[in-house]
Structure 1
Amino acid sequence: MIKQLKFIIYTRPFICFLYYFIRLYTATFRLKIENEKSWQSMLNGNQPVILVTWHQQFFSAIRHFKKYARYNPGLMISRSRDGDLISAVARRSGWRTPRGSSSKGGKEAMAAMIVHLNTYGFGAHILDGPTGPMGKVKPGIIKMALQTNALLVPFFIDSHQAWFFNSWDRFMIPKPFAKVRLRFLDPIHIYGEKNEDFDVLRERLETLMLPGLHP
Protein backbone atom coordinates (compact mmCIF):
# COMPACT_ATOMS: atom_id res chain seq x y z
CA MET A 1 0.00 0.00 0.00
CA ILE A 2 2.79 2.42 0.91
CA LYS A 3 4.65 1.60 -2.32
CA GLN A 4 1.52 2.23 -4.36
CA LEU A 5 0.95 5.54 -2.60
CA LYS A 6 4.52 6.67 -3.26
CA PHE A 7 4.14 5.72 -6.92
CA ILE A 8 0.98 7.82 -7.23
CA ILE A 9 2.58 10.84 -5.53
CA TYR A 10 5.36 11.07 -8.14
CA THR A 11 3.18 10.65 -11.22
CA ARG A 12 2.50 13.51 -13.63
CA PRO A 13 -1.26 13.70 -12.82
CA PHE A 14 -0.58 14.03 -9.09
CA ILE A 15 2.10 16.68 -9.62
CA CYS A 16 -0.35 18.62 -11.80
CA PHE A 17 -2.98 18.30 -9.07
CA LEU A 18 -0.47 19.43 -6.43
CA TYR A 19 0.49 22.51 -8.45
CA TYR A 20 -3.10 23.67 -8.85
CA PHE A 21 -3.96 22.79 -5.27
CA ILE A 22 -1.10 24.98 -4.00
CA ARG A 23 -2.21 27.84 -6.26
CA LEU A 24 -5.82 27.57 -5.09
CA TYR A 25 -4.88 27.19 -1.42
CA THR A 26 -2.44 30.11 -1.38
CA ALA A 27 -4.96 32.28 -3.27
CA THR A 28 -6.95 32.38 -0.03
CA PHE A 29 -4.14 34.24 1.73
CA ARG A 30 -4.63 37.94 2.34
CA LEU A 31 -1.17 38.70 1.06
CA LYS A 32 0.69 41.93 1.74
CA ILE A 33 3.94 42.64 -0.13
CA GLU A 34 6.53 45.00 1.32
CA ASN A 35 9.59 46.60 -0.30
CA GLU A 36 9.45 44.72 -3.62
CA LYS A 37 10.16 47.62 -5.94
CA SER A 38 13.57 48.40 -4.42
CA TRP A 39 15.20 45.27 -5.83
CA GLN A 40 13.07 44.98 -8.98
CA SER A 41 14.32 48.35 -10.18
CA MET A 42 17.89 47.06 -9.85
CA LEU A 43 17.04 43.82 -11.65
CA ASN A 44 15.42 45.78 -14.46
CA GLY A 45 18.66 47.75 -14.64
CA ASN A 46 20.62 44.53 -15.37
CA GLN A 47 21.93 44.07 -11.83
CA PRO A 48 21.94 40.33 -10.96
CA VAL A 49 19.73 39.51 -7.96
CA ILE A 50 19.34 36.41 -5.78
CA LEU A 51 16.35 36.22 -3.43
CA VAL A 52 17.24 34.33 -0.23
CA THR A 53 15.14 32.91 2.59
CA TRP A 54 14.84 30.02 5.04
CA HIS A 55 13.48 26.59 4.10
CA GLN A 56 10.76 27.12 6.70
CA GLN A 57 9.08 29.91 4.74
CA PHE A 58 9.21 29.33 0.99
CA PHE A 59 5.76 27.70 0.62
CA SER A 60 3.84 30.94 1.05
CA ALA A 61 5.75 32.64 -1.78
CA ILE A 62 5.07 30.03 -4.49
CA ARG A 63 1.97 31.65 -5.98
CA HIS A 64 3.33 35.19 -5.95
CA PHE A 65 6.69 34.16 -7.39
CA LYS A 66 5.06 32.90 -10.59
CA LYS A 67 4.85 36.60 -11.49
CA TYR A 68 8.65 36.60 -11.80
CA ALA A 69 8.64 34.06 -14.66
CA ARG A 70 9.36 36.82 -17.19
CA TYR A 71 12.80 37.23 -15.62
CA ASN A 72 13.78 33.57 -16.30
CA PRO A 73 14.46 32.86 -12.61
CA GLY A 74 16.55 29.92 -11.39
CA LEU A 75 16.38 27.87 -8.19
CA MET A 76 18.71 25.05 -7.16
CA ILE A 77 16.76 22.04 -5.85
CA SER A 78 18.02 18.76 -4.41
CA ARG A 79 17.89 15.45 -6.29
CA SER A 80 15.77 13.85 -3.55
CA ARG A 81 12.28 12.49 -4.16
CA ASP A 82 10.83 15.50 -2.32
CA GLY A 83 12.99 17.64 -4.59
CA ASP A 84 11.29 16.02 -7.59
CA LEU A 85 7.94 17.38 -6.41
CA ILE A 86 9.30 20.83 -5.58
CA SER A 87 11.14 21.04 -8.89
CA ALA A 88 8.03 20.05 -10.86
CA VAL A 89 5.94 22.71 -9.14
CA ALA A 90 8.68 25.32 -9.63
CA ARG A 91 8.98 24.56 -13.34
CA ARG A 92 5.23 24.93 -13.78
CA SER A 93 5.63 28.35 -12.16
CA GLY A 94 8.19 29.39 -14.78
CA TRP A 95 11.37 28.68 -12.81
CA ARG A 96 14.49 26.85 -14.05
CA THR A 97 15.68 24.22 -11.55
CA PRO A 98 19.30 23.00 -11.58
CA ARG A 99 19.25 19.83 -9.44
CA GLY A 100 21.72 19.01 -6.69
CA SER A 101 22.70 19.50 -3.03
CA SER A 102 25.70 19.06 -0.74
CA SER A 103 24.98 15.31 -0.54
CA LYS A 104 24.40 14.62 -4.24
CA GLY A 105 25.18 16.53 -7.41
CA GLY A 106 25.92 19.77 -5.63
CA LYS A 107 29.01 20.73 -7.62
CA GLU A 108 27.25 20.35 -10.97
CA ALA A 109 24.11 22.13 -9.78
CA MET A 110 26.12 25.01 -8.35
CA ALA A 111 28.00 25.42 -11.61
CA ALA A 112 24.71 25.37 -13.54
CA MET A 113 23.19 27.93 -11.19
CA ILE A 114 26.17 30.28 -11.60
CA VAL A 115 25.89 29.99 -15.39
CA HIS A 116 22.17 30.71 -15.13
CA LEU A 117 22.73 33.80 -12.98
CA ASN A 118 25.43 35.11 -15.30
CA THR A 119 23.09 34.56 -18.25
CA TYR A 120 19.72 35.73 -16.91
CA GLY A 121 20.67 37.65 -13.76
CA PHE A 122 17.94 36.36 -11.47
CA GLY A 123 17.39 33.47 -9.07
CA ALA A 124 16.54 32.41 -5.56
CA HIS A 125 18.21 30.25 -2.94
CA ILE A 126 17.07 28.41 0.18
CA LEU A 127 19.81 29.16 2.69
CA ASP A 128 19.50 26.17 5.03
CA GLY A 129 18.01 23.61 2.63
CA PRO A 130 17.39 20.91 1.85
CA THR A 131 18.13 19.16 5.16
CA GLY A 132 19.31 21.82 7.59
CA PRO A 133 20.25 22.36 10.28
CA MET A 134 17.60 25.00 10.73
CA GLY A 135 18.91 28.55 10.58
CA LYS A 136 22.37 27.57 9.32
CA VAL A 137 23.42 29.36 6.14
CA LYS A 138 25.18 26.93 3.80
CA PRO A 139 28.30 28.30 2.06
CA GLY A 140 27.01 27.86 -1.50
CA ILE A 141 25.20 31.19 -1.55
CA ILE A 142 28.44 33.05 -0.85
CA LYS A 143 30.14 31.35 -3.79
CA MET A 144 27.21 32.22 -6.05
CA ALA A 145 27.21 35.86 -4.98
CA LEU A 146 30.95 36.30 -5.39
CA GLN A 147 31.07 34.64 -8.82
CA THR A 148 28.08 36.49 -10.25
CA ASN A 149 28.34 39.87 -8.50
CA ALA A 150 24.68 39.40 -7.56
CA LEU A 151 22.91 41.39 -4.89
CA LEU A 152 21.27 39.26 -2.22
CA VAL A 153 17.71 40.18 -1.29
CA PRO A 154 16.50 38.52 1.92
CA PHE A 155 12.79 37.91 2.26
CA PHE A 156 10.71 36.66 5.16
CA ILE A 157 7.13 35.49 5.54
CA ASP A 158 4.97 35.78 8.61
CA SER A 159 1.31 35.06 9.23
CA HIS A 160 -1.09 35.81 12.05
CA GLN A 161 -2.39 32.22 11.80
CA ALA A 162 -0.19 29.33 10.69
CA TRP A 163 0.66 25.69 11.27
CA PHE A 164 4.26 24.70 12.05
CA PHE A 165 5.29 21.14 11.24
CA ASN A 166 7.27 18.97 13.64
CA SER A 167 10.15 18.83 11.17
CA TRP A 168 13.79 19.90 11.17
CA ASP A 169 12.86 23.34 9.76
CA ARG A 170 9.51 23.79 11.56
CA PHE A 171 7.97 24.20 8.11
CA MET A 172 5.30 26.89 8.10
CA ILE A 173 1.95 26.81 6.28
CA PRO A 174 -0.42 29.73 6.87
CA LYS A 175 -4.01 28.72 7.55
CA PRO A 176 -6.68 29.42 4.91
CA PHE A 177 -7.61 33.11 4.65
CA ALA A 178 -4.77 34.09 6.99
CA LYS A 179 -3.11 37.49 6.78
CA VAL A 180 0.30 36.79 5.25
CA ARG A 181 3.12 39.28 4.89
CA LEU A 182 5.91 38.83 2.34
CA ARG A 183 8.62 41.25 3.39
CA PHE A 184 11.77 41.98 1.37
CA LEU A 185 14.81 43.55 3.01
CA ASP A 186 16.97 46.02 1.13
CA PRO A 187 19.49 44.45 -1.26
CA ILE A 188 22.90 43.64 0.17
CA HIS A 189 26.20 43.14 -1.61
CA ILE A 190 28.31 40.20 -0.44
CA TYR A 191 31.95 40.92 -1.00
CA GLY A 192 35.10 40.55 1.02
CA GLU A 193 38.58 41.91 1.24
CA LYS A 194 41.31 39.70 -0.18
CA ASN A 195 42.33 38.58 3.29
CA GLU A 196 38.80 38.09 4.63
CA ASP A 197 37.84 34.54 5.56
CA PHE A 198 35.10 32.99 3.41
CA ASP A 199 33.21 31.82 6.50
CA VAL A 200 33.13 35.36 7.89
CA LEU A 201 30.94 36.35 4.94
CA ARG A 202 28.67 33.37 5.55
CA GLU A 203 28.33 34.21 9.25
CA ARG A 204 27.60 37.83 8.43
CA LEU A 205 24.68 36.79 6.22
CA GLU A 206 23.45 34.30 8.83
CA THR A 207 23.40 37.00 11.50
CA LEU A 208 21.33 39.22 9.23
CA MET A 209 18.87 36.43 8.41
CA LEU A 210 18.28 34.86 11.83
CA PRO A 211 15.85 37.51 13.17
CA GLY A 212 13.41 36.54 10.41
CA LEU A 213 13.33 32.86 11.37
CA HIS A 214 10.31 31.71 13.38
CA PRO A 215 11.45 29.72 16.46
Structure 2
Amino acid sequence: MLPADTGPYDTPLSLAIQGGRSLWRCRGWLGVDNDALGTAARRPLSVRRVFPMKFKAQIAAATIRLLVGSLRFRFVVDDPDTAPQRMAGPGLYIFWHEMLLLPAYTHSREITPLISASRDGDLMDAVVRSFGGSIIRGSTDHGKTDRGGRRALREMLRQGKTRHLAIPVDGPIGPSRKVSPGAVFLASRSGMPIVPVGLAPRWFVSFGPEGRKVNFPAPLCRAWIVLGKPIRIRPELPKSELRAAVESIQAAMDEVQSRAEKYVRTDWCGSKPMTLGEFRTL
Protein backbone atom coordinates (compact mmCIF):
# COMPACT_ATOMS: atom_id res chain seq x y z
CA MET A 1 0.00 0.00 0.00
CA LEU A 2 1.05 3.57 -0.64
CA PRO A 3 1.66 5.93 2.30
CA ALA A 4 -1.09 8.36 3.21
CA ASP A 5 0.97 11.35 2.04
CA THR A 6 1.63 9.91 -1.40
CA GLY A 7 1.42 12.64 -4.04
CA PRO A 8 0.43 12.43 -7.71
CA TYR A 9 4.02 11.65 -8.80
CA ASP A 10 4.70 9.03 -6.13
CA THR A 11 2.90 6.17 -7.85
CA PRO A 12 5.02 3.17 -8.82
CA LEU A 13 5.43 4.49 -12.37
CA SER A 14 4.05 7.76 -13.64
CA LEU A 15 4.47 9.93 -16.68
CA ALA A 16 4.54 13.65 -16.15
CA ILE A 17 4.41 16.13 -18.97
CA GLN A 18 6.08 19.42 -18.05
CA GLY A 19 6.69 22.10 -20.62
CA GLY A 20 5.99 19.68 -23.47
CA ARG A 21 8.69 17.22 -22.34
CA SER A 22 7.84 13.78 -20.99
CA LEU A 23 9.50 12.92 -17.74
CA TRP A 24 9.70 9.51 -16.18
CA ARG A 25 9.75 9.33 -12.40
CA CYS A 26 10.29 5.85 -11.09
CA ARG A 27 9.93 5.34 -7.34
CA GLY A 28 10.49 2.46 -4.98
CA TRP A 29 8.20 -0.04 -6.65
CA LEU A 30 11.05 -2.58 -6.62
CA GLY A 31 11.33 -2.35 -2.84
CA VAL A 32 14.22 0.14 -2.90
CA ASP A 33 14.19 2.99 -0.40
CA ASN A 34 14.01 6.27 -2.33
CA ASP A 35 16.04 8.06 0.35
CA ALA A 36 18.83 5.55 -0.09
CA LEU A 37 18.99 6.31 -3.79
CA GLY A 38 20.07 9.89 -3.18
CA THR A 39 19.15 13.12 -4.90
CA ALA A 40 20.47 12.07 -8.31
CA ALA A 41 18.27 8.97 -8.40
CA ARG A 42 15.16 11.01 -7.62
CA ARG A 43 15.89 13.48 -10.45
CA PRO A 44 13.33 13.22 -13.27
CA LEU A 45 14.60 11.42 -16.35
CA SER A 46 13.97 13.10 -19.70
CA VAL A 47 12.92 11.12 -22.74
CA ARG A 48 16.31 11.84 -24.34
CA ARG A 49 18.04 10.09 -21.42
CA VAL A 50 15.60 7.18 -21.25
CA PHE A 51 15.40 6.42 -24.96
CA PRO A 52 18.65 6.16 -26.94
CA MET A 53 18.90 7.76 -30.36
CA LYS A 54 18.75 4.38 -32.09
CA PHE A 55 15.37 3.60 -30.54
CA LYS A 56 13.99 7.03 -31.41
CA ALA A 57 15.26 6.64 -34.97
CA GLN A 58 13.47 3.31 -35.27
CA ILE A 59 10.23 4.95 -34.13
CA ALA A 60 10.78 7.85 -36.55
CA ALA A 61 11.57 5.50 -39.44
CA ALA A 62 8.45 3.43 -38.76
CA THR A 63 6.33 6.58 -38.59
CA ILE A 64 7.75 7.92 -41.84
CA ARG A 65 7.18 4.57 -43.52
CA LEU A 66 3.53 4.68 -42.49
CA LEU A 67 3.07 8.31 -43.50
CA VAL A 68 5.07 8.51 -46.71
CA GLY A 69 4.47 4.91 -47.71
CA SER A 70 0.72 5.53 -47.75
CA LEU A 71 0.96 8.48 -50.13
CA ARG A 72 -0.31 8.32 -53.70
CA PHE A 73 2.72 9.54 -55.61
CA ARG A 74 2.49 11.16 -59.03
CA PHE A 75 5.66 11.93 -61.00
CA VAL A 76 6.16 14.41 -63.82
CA VAL A 77 9.56 14.15 -65.52
CA ASP A 78 10.47 16.82 -68.06
CA ASP A 79 13.40 14.76 -69.35
CA PRO A 80 13.23 10.97 -68.78
CA ASP A 81 17.03 10.81 -68.78
CA THR A 82 17.09 12.76 -65.49
CA ALA A 83 15.63 9.78 -63.61
CA PRO A 84 18.39 8.37 -61.36
CA GLN A 85 18.32 4.96 -63.01
CA ARG A 86 18.63 6.42 -66.53
CA MET A 87 21.06 9.29 -66.10
CA ALA A 88 24.32 8.71 -67.99
CA GLY A 89 26.43 9.83 -65.04
CA PRO A 90 26.04 11.09 -61.48
CA GLY A 91 23.60 13.96 -61.01
CA LEU A 92 22.98 16.53 -58.29
CA TYR A 93 19.32 16.59 -57.23
CA ILE A 94 18.17 19.67 -55.33
CA PHE A 95 14.96 20.33 -53.40
CA TRP A 96 13.67 22.50 -50.57
CA HIS A 97 14.60 21.47 -47.03
CA GLU A 98 11.00 21.34 -45.83
CA MET A 99 10.25 18.49 -48.28
CA LEU A 100 13.16 16.19 -47.37
CA LEU A 101 10.98 13.35 -46.03
CA LEU A 102 9.63 12.53 -49.50
CA PRO A 103 12.94 11.87 -51.31
CA ALA A 104 14.29 10.20 -48.17
CA TYR A 105 11.61 7.56 -48.69
CA THR A 106 11.43 7.30 -52.48
CA HIS A 107 15.13 7.32 -53.45
CA SER A 108 17.32 6.82 -50.39
CA ARG A 109 19.12 3.88 -52.01
CA GLU A 110 19.86 5.51 -55.36
CA ILE A 111 20.85 8.97 -54.12
CA THR A 112 23.15 10.02 -51.28
CA PRO A 113 21.80 13.11 -49.49
CA LEU A 114 23.64 15.78 -47.52
CA ILE A 115 22.31 15.88 -43.94
CA SER A 116 23.09 18.70 -41.51
CA ALA A 117 25.48 18.18 -38.60
CA SER A 118 22.80 18.90 -36.01
CA ARG A 119 20.65 16.94 -33.57
CA ASP A 120 17.86 16.87 -36.13
CA GLY A 121 20.42 15.63 -38.62
CA ASP A 122 21.32 12.77 -36.27
CA LEU A 123 17.74 11.59 -36.46
CA MET A 124 17.49 11.93 -40.24
CA ASP A 125 20.82 10.11 -40.56
CA ALA A 126 19.39 7.09 -38.76
CA VAL A 127 16.11 7.30 -40.67
CA VAL A 128 17.81 7.31 -44.10
CA ARG A 129 20.05 4.43 -43.07
CA SER A 130 17.00 2.47 -41.93
CA PHE A 131 15.71 2.76 -45.50
CA GLY A 132 18.94 1.20 -46.77
CA GLY A 133 20.59 4.44 -47.86
CA SER A 134 23.79 6.26 -46.97
CA ILE A 135 24.37 9.92 -46.14
CA ILE A 136 27.00 12.65 -46.01
CA ARG A 137 27.05 14.81 -42.87
CA GLY A 138 27.92 18.49 -42.75
CA SER A 139 26.56 22.02 -42.36
CA THR A 140 27.61 25.43 -43.53
CA ASP A 141 30.70 26.64 -41.67
CA HIS A 142 30.20 30.07 -40.06
CA GLY A 143 33.40 32.03 -39.59
CA LYS A 144 35.84 29.98 -37.54
CA THR A 145 33.19 27.48 -36.44
CA ASP A 146 33.80 24.12 -38.07
CA ARG A 147 30.48 22.36 -38.63
CA GLY A 148 31.82 19.84 -41.12
CA GLY A 149 31.09 21.89 -44.23
CA ARG A 150 34.55 21.61 -45.80
CA ARG A 151 34.81 17.93 -44.97
CA ALA A 152 31.34 17.31 -46.43
CA LEU A 153 32.30 19.15 -49.63
CA ARG A 154 35.36 16.95 -50.08
CA GLU A 155 33.27 13.84 -49.48
CA MET A 156 30.61 14.97 -51.96
CA LEU A 157 33.25 15.63 -54.60
CA ARG A 158 34.61 12.14 -53.99
CA GLN A 159 31.27 10.32 -54.00
CA GLY A 160 29.95 12.47 -56.84
CA LYS A 161 32.28 10.64 -59.21
CA THR A 162 30.22 7.46 -58.93
CA ARG A 163 26.91 8.26 -57.14
CA HIS A 164 23.99 10.62 -57.43
CA LEU A 165 23.86 13.27 -54.70
CA ALA A 166 21.00 15.28 -53.19
CA ILE A 167 21.08 18.62 -51.38
CA PRO A 168 18.34 20.60 -49.61
CA VAL A 169 19.39 23.67 -51.56
CA ASP A 170 18.12 26.20 -49.02
CA GLY A 171 20.18 24.54 -46.30
CA PRO A 172 19.20 23.67 -42.73
CA ILE A 173 19.33 27.28 -41.51
CA GLY A 174 17.46 29.07 -44.29
CA PRO A 175 16.14 31.41 -45.36
CA SER A 176 13.47 29.04 -46.54
CA ARG A 177 13.18 28.53 -50.31
CA LYS A 178 16.21 30.65 -51.09
CA VAL A 179 18.98 28.93 -53.04
CA SER A 180 22.36 28.97 -51.34
CA PRO A 181 25.49 28.95 -53.53
CA GLY A 182 26.76 25.60 -52.23
CA ALA A 183 25.01 23.50 -54.88
CA VAL A 184 26.27 25.77 -57.66
CA PHE A 185 29.83 25.55 -56.36
CA LEU A 186 29.61 21.75 -56.08
CA ALA A 187 28.19 21.36 -59.59
CA SER A 188 30.88 23.63 -61.01
CA ARG A 189 33.69 21.69 -59.35
CA SER A 190 32.28 18.20 -60.01
CA GLY A 191 30.73 18.60 -63.44
CA MET A 192 27.45 17.04 -62.25
CA PRO A 193 24.27 18.41 -63.84
CA ILE A 194 21.79 19.97 -61.41
CA VAL A 195 18.27 18.52 -61.47
CA PRO A 196 15.69 20.77 -59.75
CA VAL A 197 12.96 18.81 -57.97
CA GLY A 198 9.62 20.16 -56.80
CA LEU A 199 7.71 18.16 -54.18
CA ALA A 200 4.23 18.83 -52.81
CA PRO A 201 1.98 16.67 -50.60
CA ARG A 202 -1.70 17.66 -50.68
CA TRP A 203 -2.02 17.88 -46.89
CA PHE A 204 0.76 18.24 -44.36
CA VAL A 205 1.77 19.65 -40.98
CA SER A 206 4.98 21.66 -40.57
CA PHE A 207 7.29 21.24 -37.59
CA GLY A 208 10.31 23.31 -36.63
CA PRO A 209 11.32 26.97 -36.87
CA GLU A 210 11.30 28.89 -40.12
CA GLY A 211 14.26 27.87 -42.24
CA ARG A 212 14.48 24.45 -40.56
CA LYS A 213 10.90 23.28 -40.77
CA VAL A 214 9.97 19.86 -42.11
CA ASN A 215 6.60 19.01 -43.63
CA PHE A 216 4.98 15.80 -42.41
CA PRO A 217 2.40 14.64 -44.97
CA ALA A 218 -1.01 13.39 -43.97
CA PRO A 219 -1.60 9.67 -44.52
CA LEU A 220 -3.14 8.54 -47.82
CA CYS A 221 -3.01 11.96 -49.45
CA ARG A 222 -1.64 12.72 -52.92
CA ALA A 223 1.93 13.87 -53.44
CA TRP A 224 3.31 15.23 -56.70
CA ILE A 225 6.98 15.27 -57.62
CA VAL A 226 8.26 17.26 -60.61
CA LEU A 227 11.75 16.73 -62.02
CA GLY A 228 12.86 19.68 -64.13
CA LYS A 229 15.34 19.70 -66.97
CA PRO A 230 19.03 19.34 -66.02
CA ILE A 231 21.09 22.49 -65.64
CA ARG A 232 24.80 22.53 -66.48
CA ILE A 233 27.09 24.87 -64.58
CA ARG A 234 30.26 26.12 -66.21
CA PRO A 235 33.34 24.25 -64.90
CA GLU A 236 35.44 26.24 -62.44
CA LEU A 237 32.83 28.98 -62.38
CA PRO A 238 34.42 32.35 -61.47
CA LYS A 239 33.03 34.29 -58.53
CA SER A 240 31.86 37.05 -60.86
CA GLU A 241 29.34 34.64 -62.41
CA LEU A 242 28.20 32.97 -59.18
CA ARG A 243 25.26 35.28 -58.51
CA ALA A 244 23.83 34.83 -62.00
CA ALA A 245 24.12 31.05 -61.67
CA VAL A 246 22.37 31.11 -58.28
CA GLU A 247 19.57 33.23 -59.73
CA SER A 248 19.06 30.77 -62.59
CA ILE A 249 18.83 27.87 -60.13
CA GLN A 250 16.40 29.89 -57.99
CA ALA A 251 14.16 30.45 -61.01
CA ALA A 252 14.26 26.75 -61.89
CA MET A 253 13.41 25.71 -58.33
CA ASP A 254 10.55 28.21 -58.11
CA GLU A 255 9.17 26.88 -61.39
CA VAL A 256 9.17 23.16 -60.53
CA GLN A 257 7.88 23.79 -56.99
CA SER A 258 5.07 25.99 -58.32
CA ARG A 259 4.09 23.27 -60.79
CA ALA A 260 4.12 20.56 -58.11
CA GLU A 261 1.87 22.66 -55.86
CA LYS A 262 -0.48 23.42 -58.77
CA TYR A 263 -0.71 19.78 -59.82
CA VAL A 264 -1.40 18.55 -56.29
CA ARG A 265 -4.31 21.01 -55.97
CA THR A 266 -5.92 20.00 -59.27
CA ASP A 267 -4.64 16.40 -59.39
CA TRP A 268 -3.91 16.88 -63.08
CA CYS A 269 -0.93 18.04 -65.13
CA GLY A 270 -2.32 17.89 -68.67
CA SER A 271 -1.20 14.32 -69.29
CA LYS A 272 -1.07 11.01 -67.46
CA PRO A 273 1.53 11.17 -64.65
CA MET A 274 3.65 8.25 -63.51
CA THR A 275 3.19 6.35 -60.29
CA LEU A 276 6.14 5.63 -58.00
CA GLY A 277 6.44 2.11 -59.39
CA GLU A 278 6.41 3.37 -62.98
CA PHE A 279 9.00 6.01 -62.20
CA ARG A 280 11.35 3.51 -60.57
CA THR A 281 11.22 1.29 -63.65
CA LEU A 282 11.48 4.15 -66.15
Please classify the TM superposition score into its range, dividing by the shorter chain length. Answer: 0.7 to 0.9
Deviation at 1:9, TM superposition (A): 5.6
Closer, same or farther in 2 for the Cα pair 1:147/1:88, shift >3 Å? same
Partner SS, residue 175 of structure 2: coil
Closer, same or farther in 2 for the Cα pair 1:87/1:8, shift >3 Å? farther
Deviation at 1:155, TM superposition (A): 0.9
Q: Does the 8 Å contact 1:9/1:15 carry over to 2?
A: no
Whether 1:64 aligns to 2:106 is yes
Q: Does the 8 Å contact 2:97/2:170 carry over to 1?
A: yes
Q: Which has the higher helix share?
A: 1
Q: Does the 8 Å contact 1:49/1:122 carry over to 2?
A: yes
| AA at the equivalent of 2:83 | Q
| AA at the equivalent of 2:56 | F
Whether 1:34 aligns to 2:76 is yes
**Paired residue for 2:230?**
187
| AA at the equivalent of 1:171 | V
| AA at the equivalent of 1:186 | K
**Number of residues of Structure 1 aligned to a counterpart in Structure 2:** 208
1:27-56 residue CA offsets vs partner (Å, 9 max, x unmatched):
211111221733137x64542201100011
Partner SS, residue 142 of structure 1: helix
- CA distance in 2: counterparts of 1:44 and 1:38, whole angstroms: 5
Whether 1:151 aligns to 2:193 is yes
Q: Which of 131, 134, 153 matches 1:93?
A: 131
Partner SS, residue 244 of structure 2: helix
Larger Rg: 2
| AA at the equivalent of 1:158 | A
Deviation at 1:93, TM superposition (A): 2.4
Q: Does the 8 Å contact 2:54/2:126 carry over to 1?
A: no
Percent of aligned pairs with the same amino acid? 23
Q: Does the 8 Å contact 1:48/1:149 carry over to 2?
A: no
1:144-170 residue CA offsets vs partner (Å, 9 max, x unmatched):
101111111111112332223463145
**Paired residue for 2:14?**
none
1:104-163 residue CA offsets vs partner (Å, 9 max, x unmatched):
110111111111101x13110110121111122111111210111111111111233222
Structure of greater relative contact order (alpha carbons < 8 Å, 6+ residues apart): 1
Q: Which runs of 5+ in 1 are unaligned?
A: none
Q: Which runs of 5+ in 2 are unaligned?
A: 1-22, 24-43, 142-146, 262-282
Closer, same or farther in 2 for the Cα pair 1:19/1:195, shift >3 Å? closer
Deviation at 1:62, TM superposition (A): 2.4
| AA at the equivalent of 2:188 | L
Q: Does the 8 Å contact 2:179/2:249 carry over to 1?
A: yes
Partner SS, residue 143 of structure 1: helix
**Paired residue for 1:80?**
118
Whether 1:204 aligns to 2:248 is yes
Deviation >3 Å, runs of 4+? 7-10, 43-46, 192-196
Structure 1 residues 169-178 or 76-85, which shifts more? 169-178
Q: Does the 8 Å contact 1:155/1:184 carry over to 2?
A: yes
- CA distance in 2: counterparts of 1:205 and 1:140, whole angstroms: 11
Deviation at 1:95, TM superposition (A): 2.8
RMSD: 2.5
Deviation at 1:206, TM superposition (A): 1.4
TM-score normalised by L of structure 2: 0.66
| AA at the equivalent of 2:221 | A
- CA distance in 2: counterparts of 1:10 and 1:50, whole angstroms: 33
